Amino acid sequence: MITRMSSLFLRTLREDPADAEVPSHKLLVRAGYVRRVAPGGYSWLPLGLRVLRNIEAVVREEMDAFGAQEIQFPALLPKEPYEATNRWEEYGPNIFRLKDRKGADYLLGPTHEELFTLTVKGEYSSYKDYPVTLYQIQTKYRDEARPRAGILRGREFLMKDSYSFDLTDEGLSQSYQDHRDAYIRIFDRLGLEYVIVSATSGAMGGSASEEFLAVAETGEDTFVRSTESGYAANVEAVTTPVPPAQSIDDKPAAQVHHTPNTPTIETLVDFLNANTDRKFTAADTLKNVLVKLKHPGKDWELLAVAVPGDREVDFKRLEAALEPAEVAMVDETDFAKNPFLVKGYIGPGAIQGNGIRYLADPRVVTGTAWVTGADKADHHVVDLVAGRDFTPDGVIDVAEVREGDASPDGKGVLVAARGIEIGHIFQLGRKYADAFSLDALGPDSKPVRITMGSYGIGVSRLVAAIAEQSYDERGLIWPRNVAPADVHVVVAGKDETLLRAGEDFAKQLSDSGLKVLLDDRKASPGVKFADAELVGVPTILVVGRGLKDGVVEVKDRKSGERQDVPVAEVVEHLVRVVRG
């Protein structure tokens, strides 16, 4: 296939678009791959659409390869199934809702658990029908509060979503593993650098869940990885290693100190170090943070969270830990209603003594001694020992994770990184099967409740994610499997001989099965070279001055390496370069 730039619907831009901040957004617009139509809504121009389709094809191949079956749902969906699972409400302002001419409620599907569940229920009835995995590659909609970074976070985007339906938990584990393996093959084929992080579930509820993050400074997701192992996780999913319990017997008795003017951990530590003969650090103090939470359909209730004083409570980790409850910080009204809470000096006594649930950091193991509030203004207690002087109602792992923390797998320490979520695999369990009574009739004629998995890949986002990992100051650099063409033939000069030679090379390459982008425009060589670098086809063939000496130049876009190749050998050479 030959695409001639003389007629291609492509106009590159020399300037970055004003609204673009991240490299992929700037370059995809400048190179004429996408154009903005509305906030979070982009059109795909010819080269962009090709890259998108190439990615789509890789995803489809790998899904089909493990037996997933492609179907397609409408994007415009009736409200009822989403009401049945309460997601019509739960999505809040994050989905697009509309009414039809008769006033019936619809939404633009953000994800299709409900429809897939209902469809399987409609077709299948016997245990012999299962397992089955269905998928679609389909346009999805989310009314993002802040669409950003071009196609990286749009409001209309292309997604592969799949759903597995199994009779048993073991079956679900297998389906999950099948997807995990397929995703690894997909992202490897796309040439991405990525990590697989343990994740929490977001709004979907359920158990095992991992995210595939393309490593990129501009990514919205932060994660931590070990300096010495393959461990990687969202901060929400990091588990703090639990230290061994200590002996209680050798601990001094708890003692209340008058600690005037110590409203902060720092002032408290300074005061104690100045006024006692011991040396304390912030890590020796226990900070009791009051929050409130609300389970669906219930009233707000208070919760106290204890974390070592050298760490803040990470609100994202807190939300994830308490899901599906809603969480909020307490305010003055809450303190006013609960006068036993002495702000700045709260201790376990007032908390537990007044029936407030008290959850502590995993570091608060039996035998650890803490400095904490004495439930009285300007007073703290020293040597309050867990398991002796107080016993939290449970453990909650929500303290901030820091670079340098030990990796949960015991190997190395954690460092922070950023990534773009490109895939998510998730064991839903029976939530949706319960909502719609999806049962199979078992061999004993008894119903078996189906268990499900849900798996997504952001297909259009991948275009941006790949671009984020593969560019330089001159433009895009596409991995071979996704590039809009195999070879970019640049006719570098206005001489008719050069043009004829370029056409001839293009034809021979095309006949050999390669996709060729042929720059047959009347523009100057400089303009053409700049456009070739910007557009980012991995191999560039320059038909220029050398032709009269029987050579053309083959340039590798990524390395910048140039090589003169004899005219007679160039087609064979390029076929070898492209096919690997």
Residue partners of 202: CB distance under 8 A and separation at least 6: none
Among 41, 202, 367, 525, binds a copy of itself (CB under 8 A): 41
Contact call for residue 150 and a copy of itself (CB under 8 A): no
Which residue's CB is nearer to a copy of itself, number 155 or number 294? Answer: 155
66 counts as binding a copy of itself under rule CB under 8 A: no
Query: What is the closest distance, in whole angstroms, from the C-beta atom of residue 371 to a copy of itself in the complex?
Result: 46
Nearer to a copy of itself, 11 or 279 (CB): 11
Asked if residue 103 binds a copy of itself (CB under 8 A), the reply is no
Cβ pair 172, 427 in contact under 8 A: yes
Among 8, 413, 527, 575, binds a copy of itself (CB under 8 A): 8
106 binds a copy of itself (CB under 8 A): yes
Dihedral sign computed on CA atoms, order 463, 419, 213, 556: positive
Which residue, 138 or 407, has its beta carbon nearer to a copy of itself? 138
- Contact residue for a copy of itself among 19, 21, 46, 242 (CB under 8 A): 46
- In contact, 436 and 452? CB cutoff 8 Å: no
| Site membership for a copy of itself, residue 2 (CB under 8 A) | no
Tell me which DSSP letter residue 411 carries. S
What is the smallest separation between the CB atom of 243 and a copy of itself, expressed in angstroms? 46
DSSP-derived pairing of the beta strands 326-329 and 286-294: antiparallel
Among 97-105, 232-240, 472-480, 563-571, the segment contacting a copy of itself (CB under 8 A): 97-105
- Cβ atoms of 149 and 24 within 8 Å: the answer is yes
Return the residues of window 199-238 that contact a copy of itself according to CB under 8 A: none
State yes or no: residue 148 binds a copy of itself (CB under 8 A): no
Q: Binding segment for a copy of itself among 8-16, 351-359, 481-489, 512-520 (CB under 8 A)?
A: 8-16
| Residue 172 near residue 453, CB atoms below 8 Å | yes
Pick from 155, 185, 480, 507: which binds a copy of itself (CB under 8 A)? Answer: 155
**Comparing C-alpha atoms, which of 218, 232, 225 is closest to residue 418?**
218
Residue 156 lies near a copy of itself (rule: CB under 8 A): yes
- Cβ 48 vs Cβ 464: under 8 Å: no
Long-range pairs of 336-342 with CB within 8 A, sequence gap ≥ 24: 338/302, 340/375, 341/290, 342/373, 342/375, 342/376, 342/377
Q: How far is the CB of 194 from a copy of itself (least distance, A)?
A: 26
**Per CB under 8 A, does 260 bind a copy of itself?**
no
Nearest distance, CB of residue 403 and a copy of itself, angstroms:
36
**Which residues between 108 and 137 bind a copy of itself (CB under 8 A)?**
108, 115, 119, 122-124, 132, 134
Q: Is 42 in the site for a copy of itself (CB under 8 A)?
A: yes
Nearest to residue 419, comparing CAs of 108, 210, 129? 210
Phi then psi for 456, rounded to 5 degrees? Answer: -130, 150
C-alpha 371/C-alpha 283 separation (Å) is 9
Q: How far is the CB of 166 from a copy of itself (least distance, A)?
A: 14
- Which residues make Cβ contacts (< 8 Å) with residue 277, sequence separation at least 6? none
Count of residues that interact with a copy of itself, criterion CB under 8 A: 51
DSSP 437: T
For the record, the structure tokens of 142 come out as 């989310």
Question: Counting contacts by CB under 8 A, is residue 56 touching a copy of itself?
Answer: no
Stretch that binds a copy of itself, among 9-17, 222-230, 347-355, 537-545 (CB under 8 A): 9-17
Contact call for residue 29 and a copy of itself (CB under 8 A): no
Q: Locate 579 and state its tokens.
A: 């096919």
Choose, by CB under 8 A, the member of 31, 59, 77, 498 that binds a copy of itself. Answer: 77
Task: Give me the least distance between CB of 153 and a copy of itself, in Å please.
Answer: 14
Which run of H or E residues covers position 213? strand 209-215
Question: Binding to a copy of itself by residue 335, rule CB under 8 A?
Answer: no
Q: Chain-centre distance of CA 6, in angstroms?
A: 40
User: Which of these, 559, 561, 528, lies nearest to 543 by C-alpha position?
Assistant: 528
- The DSSP code for 218 is T
Cβ–Cβ contacts within 10 Å for residue 510, how many?
A: 17
Tokens representing 320 are 């994830």
Angle between helices 23-30 and 459-469 (to 10 degrees): 100
Q: Which stretch binds a copy of itself (CB under 8 A): 39-47, 183-191, 463-471, 498-506?
A: 39-47
| Cβ-based nearer residue to a copy of itself, 134 or 532 | 134
> Minimum distance from CB of 507 to a copy of itself (Å)?
17
Residue 292 CA to residue 299 CA, distance in Å, equals: 10
- Contacting range for a copy of itself; rule: CB under 8 A; set: 94-102, 217-225, 232-240, 428-436: 94-102
**The one among 101, 250, 274, 331 contacting a copy of itself by CB under 8 A:** 101
Query: Which position among 14, 15, 18, 72 is part of the footprint of a copy of itself (CB under 8 A)?
Result: 72
Beta bridge partners of 471: 476
For 227, the token pair is 């300096």
Between 203 and 245, CB nearer to a copy of itself: 203
Residue closer to a copy of itself, measured from CB, 103 or 394: 103
The residues near 294 (Cβ < 8 Å, ≥ 6 apart) are 300, 301, 325, 326, 327, 328
User: Strands 487-491 and 516-519, how do they pair?
Assistant: parallel
| C-alpha 535 chain-centroid distance | 27
Binding residue for a copy of itself, selected from 2, 20, 75, 84, defined by CB under 8 A: 75
Compute the least distance from the CB of residue 42 to a copy of itself, in Å. Answer: 7
**Minimum Å distance from CB 420 to a copy of itself?**
21
Q: List interacting residues with a copy of itself (CB under 8 A).
A: 7-11, 32, 35, 37-39, 41-46, 49, 52, 67, 69-78, 93-94, 96-98, 100-101, 106, 108, 115, 119, 122-124, 132, 134, 139, 141, 143, 145, 155-156
